[in-house]
Amino acid sequence: MQEEEFQSGKIYCANCFHCKLLPGSEGGILRIRCTAGKWKKKLEQEKVYRLCTIMRRFRDECEYYEDMGESTEFIRELRKSTNNEDSSTKSS
């Protein structure tokens, strides 16, 4: 993800303390949930997203948002670490 893609003043879900990895994600696809319960389907069921989606997803505001650091740097490092994990699992 390039820096110019970031929107200043926006809240990135991946940079929130409540954004958590689901254990035992299927087929090697990392799934993420919001422990604050902000992601709901129409029938009030919890919605989960793929990690690649969450790294791009942002909101204008969220009452539960607790940042994990400066957004651009945090997302950049998250992307690097997931790319390294992907390449190591493919070579195994």
pLDDT at 12: 85
CA-based R_g, the chain, Å: 14
Specify if 25 maps to a domain: yes
Specify if 70 maps to a domain: yes
Specify if 92 maps to a domain: no
Specify if 91 maps to a domain: no
Considering Cα of 23, then 26, then 27, then 31, what sign does the dihedral take?
A: negative
pLDDT at 87: 53
Specify if 90 maps to a domain: no
Range of the domain at 10: 3-85
From first to last of the 92 residues of the chain, give the pLDDT tens digit.
Answer: 444 455 667 788 888 999 998 887 667 778 899 999 999 998 989 999 988 888 888 888 889 999 888 877 877 787 777 766 555 555 54
Structural domains in the chain (count) = 1
